[in-house]
A and B are shown apart, each in its own frame.
Chain A
Amino acid sequence: MPAVGTSWGRYPRAKQTVAPLHWRDEGLPDAEGSVLAYGNGRSYGDVCLNDGNTLLHTRGLDRYIAFDPASGILRCEAGVLFADILDFAVPQGWFLPVTPGTRYITVGGAIANDVHGKNHHVAGTFGEHLLRFELLRSDGRRLECSADENADLYAATIGGLGLTGVIVWAEFRLQRIASPWMAQETRRFGNLAEFFSLSAQSERDYAYTVAWIDCTARGDRFGRGIFYSANHAPANAAIAAPRQRRLSVPFTPPISLINGLSLSAFNELYFRRAHEGHEIVHYEPYFYPLDAIGEWNRIYGPRGFLQYQCVVPPAAAETATAELLRTIAASGSGSFLAVLKVFADRPAAGILSFPRAGTTLALDFPNRGAATFALLDRLDEITAAAGGAVYPAKDARMNGARFRQYFPRWQEMRGAIDPKFSSGFWRRVME
């Protein structure tokens, strides 16, 4: 189990005092300096870190408050994990409205990062399914926030990176499902133009779409990948339960196991072995393939890794995505898991929400020091020139000028931020 106070990328490292929160009637503990809520440490960089200050560990706030099995409205404390909600709700025919690629995140973290998933084109972000939450401020006030009540704080807290106070509990809508199974269609694509046409087609028929892209491919193979589309399967999708073996990386290897050679070989194999067509799969391996490998983040070695996730607007999507991929392929860096997804044009739930119309690319880079940071700066140039943005929940290095360009509404946060709250990320981008 990762130590409280680290982030998923294991970079940067921070030293904080950890103060646990366990009861929703409790006030905030006295702390010198600033405080920041810390859930399950699944954000990658420093939005969940507060070096030299205090983290308020919220996992002890893990109680349900109310569930209406007729409407699917759930109210629970903010430290409840998505994994717990699935265990609780799926047998009753309900599912998370939106989920990222790991179920080991807290409800509070899902709100603070306004997370998205493979169904963005139909369901938007998690914040769009939120009805209300309670915010505990450092002056002791408890504010119930919704679209009608304390609406400014509501919009500032969704995607607000934990800066507006502690989310104590939240109420949101689940979606109805008929079974725990997914009906999935798999198709290879040979280049980016094919990806965009497949995506446009699939979005009409499927609630979930995402593509794996071979970030090492060059020449004829450039832009190749595998497109996955899926819907929740009907109740009679009766098949034998697939068995998911739980693997784990038992220790941190002394060096990164990901290098250029192992990666392109792996990608070649993955592309060739993908079997196209239709199949029924359980929701767990469908949504959370990496959750089957406990602490997979350790394969990048003790220096950790950086994830880069950006979005580029529709007009520039194909050219900018191609340029990003060419730059990554030329660098010989990058990772096996590179993901491409088209976001729909929907009004953002929060002031600092990341998803917006366009194409999003996400991939990991082992931390190789200056070379990695220089590469990410070059990717930032492409993203910025296209009018795009980088996802704070994945970031550990973008500079303040870039952040303010990516999130032009950032000044609207000023009145909402709790003066006692801060994070490593926020101090970095406000420099």
Chain B
Amino acid sequence: MRKVLIIGATSAIAEATARIFATRGDALFLVARNADRLQAIATDLGVRGAVRAAHATLDVADFAAHQAVIDQAERELGGLDTVLIAHGTLSDQAECEKSVDALRREFNVNALSTMALLTTLANLFEARKNGTLAVISSVAGDRGRQSNYAYGSAKAAVSAFLSGLRQRLAKSNVDVLTIKPGFVDTPMTAAIANKGALWAKPDQIAAGIVHAIDKRRSVVYLPWFWSLIMLIIKHIPEPIFKKLKL
């Protein structure tokens, strides 16, 4: 049985992932901002088979509150061996170009809060020489593009941080998984008709995440074909890239 902490548990991908853990009889501790929504998800996970589905509210921007929530998760679950960090906001690129405050807010939520949580959790797992830290980054972090480089650069910071952390923790038997989803069909994008073959369901992404955790992978693109797409995008020479409308 895994003892799983999920931060950003009300996101569609996190919820779908939690359902897989629940049907496997794992124990879950859910963290997000909205208590009513956490309760709705926790109840659902209990019906689906979770041995335990407890929850606590947290605003990840409140760095001082991180430690208490991690301690609470450990107490409620009687230990902790798997963490999924899934919180994030889809930044408004135009707003971030106009306002330094907006840019700082986005970096705070999408990059710094994640690194802060990982710093605390890494020390915990390193001392125990056991555990998995799985973090949702993004294909947007692989190369900055004019349409979303505020978000993309925050995710790039997370990806680089995870890469270093993985090296550090490898000798302590702690797995660090970088998850890079592509386009995901969530309720927020329901209105987009004729989604092409590039769109995936949260269920598919979730299955990929659990599989990658089980197989102790390092970096996973979900669905897999995004690794090919990003390979191409990363290797477009700058003189050409500058002129593209990506």
Q: Which residues of A contact B (CB under 8 A)?
A: 1, 3-5, 17-25, 57, 59-60, 63-67, 88
Contact = CB atoms under 8 A, between A and B. Distances in A.
A60 B202 CA distance: 11
Contacts, number: 46
B244 interface: no
Contacts of A25: 36-37, 40
Interface of B: 36-37, 40-41, 43-44, 47-48, 187-188, 190-191, 193-195
B159 to A, nearest CB: 28
A5 B40 contact: no
Nearest to A74: B47
Contacts of A22: 187
Contacts of B37: 23, 25
DSSP class of A's interface residues: helix, strand, loop or mixed? Answer: loop
B188 to A, nearest CB: 7
Given A3-B194, A63-B41, A57 B187 contact: yes
23 contacts: A3-B195, A4-B191, A18-B190, A19-B191, A23-B36, A25-B36, A25-B40, A59-B187, A59-B190, A60-B190, A63-B40, A63-B41, A63-B43, A63-B44, A64-B43, A64-B44, A64-B47, A64-B48, A65-B43, A65-B44, A65-B47, A66-B43, A67-B47
Nearest to B47: A64
Given A57-B190, A59-B190, A65-B43, 18 more contacts: A3-B195, A4-B190, A4-B191, A4-B193, A5-B193, A18-B190, A20-B187, A21-B187, A23-B37, A23-B40, A25-B37, A60-B187, A60-B190, A63-B43, A63-B44, A64-B48, A66-B43, A66-B47
A242 B41 CA distance: 35
Nearest to A3: B193
Of B40, B48, B187, most buried by chain A (CB within 10 Å of CB) is B187
B46 to A, nearest CB: 8
A5 B195 CA distance: 13
A169 to B, nearest CB: 10
A372 to B, nearest CB: 26
B235 to A, nearest CB: 32
A357 B237 CA distance: 73
Of all A-B residue pairs in the complex, the 4 with the closest CB atoms, nearest first, are A20-B187, A63-B44, A64-B47, A60-B187
Nearest to B191: A18
A18 B191 CA distance: 5
Given A3-B193, A3-B194, A25-B37, A20 B47 contact: no
A22 B10 CA distance: 10
Nearest to A62: B44
B23 to A, nearest CB: 9
A242 B193 CA distance: 36
A243 to B, nearest CB: 21
Contacts of B188: 20
Contacts of A19: 191
A221 to B, nearest CB: 44
Contacts of A18: 190-191
A20 B40 contact: no
Contacts of B48: 64, 88
B191 A17 contact: yes
B35 to A, nearest CB: 10
A64 B23 CA distance: 13
Contacts of B191: 4, 17-20
Contacts of B40: 23-25, 63
A88 B46 CA distance: 13
B101 to A, nearest CB: 28
Nearest to A88: B48
A17 B36 CA distance: 27
B191 to A, nearest CB: 4
Contacts of B195: 1, 3
A165 to B, nearest CB: 20
A22 B187 CA distance: 7
A57 B104 CA distance: 34
Contacts of B44: 63-65
A25 B44 CA distance: 15
Contacts of A65: 43-44, 47
B190 to A, nearest CB: 4
A88 B31 CA distance: 26
Nearest to A4: B190
Contacts of A5: 193
Of B41, B43, B47, B194, most buried by chain A (CB within 10 Å of CB) is B47
